[in-house]
Amino acid sequence: MARALRPGGVICTQAESLWAHLGVIVGIARTCREVFKGEVNYAWTSVPTYPCGTIGFMLCSKEGGPAVDFQHPCTPVERLLGATSHAHADASSAGEGKDEDSVAAAANVENGGSTAIPLPPLSYYNSDIHTAAFCLPQFAREALDPVLTPKSR
């Protein structure tokens, strides 16, 4: 995968629950640092049906590109949702909303525009939940600090 990524490219993979497999997670992080040589960070979220009730994600970037701040979304969902409330109303009244229109609208938001993909209201995810996913309990912090990217902690 590292060869397939451009410099600065980003990848995310499942990385187990810190409650049951902390040693495995440390190994994944160490391997990711060696392979991708860019930013490496771990996030976790609640999944009530998963063993221990949580699942983790290892996020990595390939060296050679700009620094990546995984903890803070570059395009906060609130910005997308704010833009989509207008785009959704416009598309609904015009009978539009085709996939190609949605793709163009998303690209417009990414480039600083004001329209986006029409999204339904979100009941769980927001930018604070995203950032909080990177907060680790002390035991996990002590185990992972040596292998995660220092500025990502």
Per-residue pLDDT reduced to its tens digit, 44-85: 999 999 989 999 999 999 999 998 999 998 888 888 887 554
Which tokens sit at 50? Answer: 């998963």
pLDDT category, 86, cuts 50, 70, 90? very low
pLDDT, the chain, mean? 83
pLDDT category, 102, cuts 50, 70, 90? very low
Do 110 and 117 form a contact (C-beta atoms < 8 A)? no
Model-level pTM? Answer: 0.75
Count the helices and strands in the chain (H runs, E runs): 5, 3
Q: Which residues contact 100 (CB under 8 A, 6 or more apart)?
A: none
